[in-house]
Structure 1
Amino acid sequence: MTTIRLLAADGGTTEVELNGSGAYARPAAPLQSRVAYAAAHVVPKAHAENTPGRPADIDWDATLSFRRNVYSWGLGVADAMDTAQRNMGLDAAATRELIARSAEVAREEGGSVVVGVNTDHVDEERIPLAQIIDAYTEQLHFTEEQGAGPVLMASRHLARAAESAEDYRRVYDAVLSKATTPVVLHWLGTAFDPQLEGYFGASDWQTASRTLLEIIGTNPGKVAGVKMSLLNAESEVTVRSQLPEGVRMFTGDDFNYVGLIGGGTVGQGEGRSDALLGAFAAITPVASAAIQALDAGDPARYLEILGPTEELSRQVFAAPTFFYKTGVAFLAWLNGHQPAFQMVGGLHSARSLPHLSRIVELANASLAFEDPELARERWHGMLALNGVGA
């Protein structure tokens, strides 16, 4: 029996049986029952100065190869968003290059790509609403020029400047009026970014959601969907039930996605969500296989495949949640999608070895290792490097 070593918080080690891979098959035809995007990360050059505060120096071959792999499993790519370390190591110049390169790869692969549109290229911390509108519009037009779908991300500038819900309506109405293609609106909760407290004009989701729905309602044809990342299933289900026809709900809830995506198909109430998830970058083959099961009319198999991954995702996204990118990159390394466990901004140091060990344990349990022997070899090497021996 082949085993894999686990590390406890007290420094003790245990051995558990190494499971095989899920042996999932890539889809023979486009996925049908859900629209699903994996929010992808970036891979740095291992030898470069990707230290805190330095511009991102990206390994483009590995970064774009990861996106090609996502497309091969039938999922779309959500790029230049928080999973790509937007505002946490990915600078403005690298963001623009990532969007252009990713859009080109999507065309080559026949895949669907959406990318983040924000105001974060503006260096000043505080700017007026008019300048926020201009900043959003600049990134929006650049994204449209590249041929990618825009995701209008929550802006820290707007969170600082807005004094009322009306200010949010003013900014979003102005930006949406300039969009030439329907956009996805992204509502990112404070677990992911504490600087977004009170977004859409209120700290409670019930009040804030009314502003969001008003923005959608007053801009018919301009909004393709909403990505909710509040880690609160009730809020998503409530907003989802009130969306106008033709506006999709893309779950960004990395804690509760199994029931939200499955919806009534798996006995989880009326309706269902599509997906735009950082978690799906970590478990792409598993996510694809689960949606293939829904396509085949087999909700029980969907639950069997995807259900165990939710505990893994909760560990990856554990508080402080904004460090979840470390777990996504860690799993990409274990699965052979990048040569080193490195991240721009030095963010690979943001989680402890016991935290990563729990990710290893849960990935093994949920059959999320694409090559279990490689994952074991890399993890054991990392433990040895840190003085954890047999």
Structure 2
Amino acid sequence: MALTVTLPAAGGTLAPYALRGTTPVRPAAGVAFNRIAYSAAHVVADPRAAIDPWLQSAIDWDATIAYRRHLWSLGLGVAEAMDTAQRGMGLDWPTSLELIRRSLEAAAGTPGALVASGCGTDHLAPENARSVDDVIRAYEEQMAAIEKLGGKLIIMASRALARVASGPADYERVYDRILTQARQPVVLHWLGEMFDPALAGYWGSARADQAMDTALGVIAAHASKVDGIKISLLDKDKEIAMRRRLPAGVRMYTGDDFNYAELIAGDGFGSEPTHGRSDALLGIFDAIAPAASAALGELAQGNVERFHTILGPTVPLSRHIFAAPTRFYKTGVVFMAWLNGHQKHFAMVGGQQSARSLVHFAELFRLADAANLLEQPELAVRRMQTLLALHGVE
């Protein structure tokens, strides 16, 4: 008999939902990928800490690192202390640095584990930034701390820079300083305003084509110091256009949580392999890790149709999780981890578990089932029923 659960719909009605009963996605062991694939990983809050959750953060370090080991076991790298970890939405810089330290230590004992760590200016409140020099000093402080730990840098977009920069030249100055002194090639990060409204007009222009020109100029001037750029604009045409203009050897890491399947598969354009396909640095890979791993394994073996068969059903789920207001996508990512037994509770740093509605969670549950991503269906049903009961649905 199929498992069933009563779920709410948008009109306020309740209806029984029968799970499909299909086998959860399970990747084959030991398959090497032909794409670099980072999952931006979430943090597990400590709900027993005696704090004010909206004002302070408390992390369950054991559960948080255990989830990173899970991602590594699936062949995925970890993009650490990024926005998926609620950087700038509950996770402060001291806690982020501790997270980076612990993640790097765990990776050191895990063969093949990839880690790249978010480096930003979030310890400098945007309203306290008076000049571009303030931004440079803030970046340099975090760079020094992460590089001291041996970490690879992801240069995150800066709210402070977006506030004080008067035009493209200020961005060029900041990134020239950062890239000149970086110890190893970095990943740049262009995060669109749908993820963070404070980053509107990044690279010195509200027009994406002009902003792209500035970013590409920075990369061309420092190509040996840039491993790649992750763009999160949720616009596949913009990503493809920029990808085709990157210097030889510089990767495009897709951050497009709406169109990642086709961007990773690629179009084979151009003589440079990196011009015809995207690698990945995605928040959604946290929530769909088994499917991402299985699909990437098939792609590496030339099974493109099978790649799309596995990954295609995850796209509607991702578009739902990242629906506007997009910045609340972390709630859906953590909800998936709870449903699948990767953490014991559905509590988040900053109290962000309250950022989405019960109707949103119900649809997420349906879409996760349709994508074969409920790893333990009976557990997922019990936990969904718990959430329903907390919202008065018995």
Q: Does 1:145 align with 2:148?
A: yes
| Structure-2 separation of matches of 1:282 and 1:64 | 16
- Aligned-pair CA distance for 1:125: 2.0
User: 1:116-127 to 2 correspondence within 5 Å?
Assistant: 116-123=118-125, 125-127=127-129
Question: Letter of the aligned partner of 1:114 in structure 2?
Answer: A
| Structure-1 separation of matches of 2:304 and 2:233 | 26
Q: 1:27 aligns with which of 23, 26, 29?
A: 29
User: 1:44-59 to 2 correspondence within 5 Å?
Assistant: 44-49=45-50, 51-59=52-60
Q: 1:185 aligns with which of 183, 188, 204?
A: 188
Q: 2:85: which partner in 1?
A: 84
Q: 1:215: which partner in 2?
A: 218
Q: 2:284: which partner in 1?
A: 279
Q: 2:232 aligns with which of 217, 229, 232?
A: 229
Q: 2:157: which partner in 1?
A: 154
| Structure-2 separation of matches of 1:385 and 1:261 | 39
Q: 1:361: which partner in 2?
A: 366
Contact 1:126 1:160 in 2 (8 A): no
Q: Secondary structure at the match of 1:264?
A: coil
Q: 1:313 aligns with which of 309, 318, 343?
A: 318
Mark the CA change 1:359 to 1:278 in structure 2 (over 3 Å): closer, same or farther: same
Q: Secondary structure at the match of 2:266?
A: helix
Mark the CA change 1:228 to 1:323 in structure 2 (over 3 Å): closer, same or farther: same
Contact 1:6 1:361 in 2 (8 A): no
Question: Letter of the aligned partner of 1:300 in structure 2?
Answer: E
Q: 2:356 aligns with which of 351, 367, 376?
A: 351
Contact 1:117 1:139 in 2 (8 A): yes
| Structure-1 separation of matches of 2:327 and 2:168 | 26
| Structure-2 separation of matches of 1:273 and 1:23 | 23
Q: Secondary structure at the match of 1:221?
A: helix
Contact 1:51 1:346 in 2 (8 A): no
Deviation per CA, 1:148-204, whole angstroms, max 9, x where unpaired?
A: 210000000000010010000000001111101110000000000001111001111
User: 1:167-186 to 2 correspondence within 5 Å?
Assistant: 167-186=170-189
Mark the CA change 1:260 to 1:49 in structure 2 (over 3 Å): closer, same or farther: farther
TM-score, normalised relative to structure 2: 0.95
Q: 2:385: which partner in 1?
A: 380
Contact 1:64 1:105 in 2 (8 A): yes
Identity value in percent: 50
- Aligned-pair CA distance for 1:52: 4.7
Mark the CA change 1:50 to 1:335 in structure 2 (over 3 Å): closer, same or farther: farther
Q: 1:198: which partner in 2?
A: 201
- Aligned-pair CA distance for 1:49: 4.3
Q: 2:256: which partner in 1?
A: 253
Contact 1:140 1:150 in 2 (8 A): yes
Mark the CA change 1:23 to 1:316 in structure 2 (over 3 Å): closer, same or farther: closer
Q: 1:330: which partner in 2?
A: 335
Q: 2:272: which partner in 1?
A: none
TM-score, normalised relative to structure 1: 0.96
Q: Secondary structure at the match of 1:121?
A: coil
Q: Secondary structure at the match of 2:29?
A: coil
Contact 1:126 1:161 in 2 (8 A): no
Contact 2:126 2:159 in 1 (8 A): no
Question: Letter of the aligned partner of 1:58 in structure 2?
Answer: I
Question: Letter of the aligned partner of 1:35 in structure 2?
Answer: I
| Structure-1 separation of matches of 2:351 and 2:44 | 12
- Aligned-pair CA distance for 1:53: 3.9
| Structure-2 separation of matches of 1:265 and 1:199 | 29
Q: Secondary structure at the match of 1:41?
A: coil
Mark the CA change 1:26 to 1:45 in structure 2 (over 3 Å): closer, same or farther: farther
Contact 1:50 1:346 in 2 (8 A): no
CA-based RMSD of the aligned residues comes to 1.6
| Structure-2 separation of matches of 1:41 and 1:118 | 17
In structure 2, stretches of 5+ residues that fail to align are 270-274
Mark the CA change 1:150 to 1:47 in structure 2 (over 3 Å): closer, same or farther: same
Aligned length: 386
Q: 1:163: which partner in 2?
A: 166
Question: Letter of the aligned partner of 2:257 in structure 1?
Answer: D
| Structure-1 separation of matches of 2:389 and 2:33 | 45
Contact 1:27 1:292 in 2 (8 A): no
- Aligned-pair CA distance for 1:124: 5.9
Q: Secondary structure at the match of 2:172?
A: helix
| Structure-2 separation of matches of 1:170 and 1:239 | 21
Contact 2:25 2:291 in 1 (8 A): no
Contact 2:157 2:199 in 1 (8 A): yes
Contact 2:71 2:77 in 1 (8 A): yes
- Aligned-pair CA distance for 1:91: 1.3
